[in-house]
Amino acid sequence: MQRHDVGPDDDAGCVLYDFINSLNIGAPTISHHVKELVNANLIRVERNGKFLTCYLNEPMRQALTGFFSDISE
C-alpha cells in the first residue's frame, strides 16, 4: 500500500482503491470499516475525482498516543 503526497503541506493519504487491491477483503467490508473509522474521527476521507483517499486525523492520533503512553507508565 502506498501513501500518496497530495499537497503543499505534505499531507499524505492512502487511496481506498489500494486497500481493496492489497487486502483479501471485499470492497463492502472495507467501506464499512472506513465508515466506522470516519465516525470515530480517526480518519477523514476525501474524494479526488473517482478515487477516495483516506487521511489520518493527526490531532486524534496525537491524543491517543498521549493517552496510551500515560496508562502504560
Tens-digit pLDDT profile for residues 26-50: 989 999 999 999 999 999 999 989 9
| Positive or negative torsion for Cα 24, 14, 49, 42 | positive
Q: Strands (DSSP E) along 1-73, which ranges?
A: 4-5, 12-15, 43-48, 51-56
pLDDT for residue 71 is more than 90: no
Under CATH, which number does the domain 13-71 receive? 1.10.10.10
Retrieve residue 17's grid coordinates.
482503491
- Whether this prediction's pTM lies above 0.85 is answered by no
For the chain, counts of helices (H) and of strands (E): 3, 4
- For residue 20, what pLDDT is reported? 86
Q: Are 34 and 45 in contact (CB under 8 A)?
A: yes
